[in-house]
Amino acid sequence: MKNILYIVNFFLEKIFKVNRAKDIMINSDKFDTSNLNLGNTFIVNEDINVKKFISKIVDEKLTIVVVDKKGQTKGYINKNQINIYYGKKRTS
């Protein structure tokens, strides 16, 4: 049963083009964290849909910290990653 749900979920994601945080993040070792502080970050799970937090990046100018299920930082998403992934028209 679990395998069937996985297959159905996989095809639904492909059909509706669900973009997860881990699909657009930059790895933590390639990101400059010198300007980050608690006030300008927002933490999300790596499997969350980008549409649920894209306004935090664009409107509030926050940097998203992407974590795995154990809470370990996997990467970061900021306006630059959104521009690269979606193009300039999304964040203008």
- Domain ranges, ordered by start, for the chain: 19-91
Q: What is the pLDDT of residues 62-71, one digit of tens each?
A: 899 999 999 9
What fold is seen in the domain 19-91?
CBS domain Like (3.90.1280)
Q: What is the mean pLDDT of residues 21-43?
A: 87
Position 13 pLDDT exceeds 70: no
- Partnered with residue 65 across adjacent β-strands are 43, 76
* pLDDT number for residue 15: 56
What does the block give as tokens for 60?
A: 């509030």
* pLDDT number for residue 92: 45
- Partnered with residue 71 across adjacent β-strands are none
Write the single-letter amino acid at 66: V
Percent of the chain residues topping a pLDDT of 70:
82
Q: What is the mean pLDDT of residues 47-63?
A: 86
Helices (runs of H) and strands (runs of E) counted in the chain: 5, 4
* pLDDT number for residue 91: 45
Q: What is the mean pLDDT of residues 80-86?
A: 82
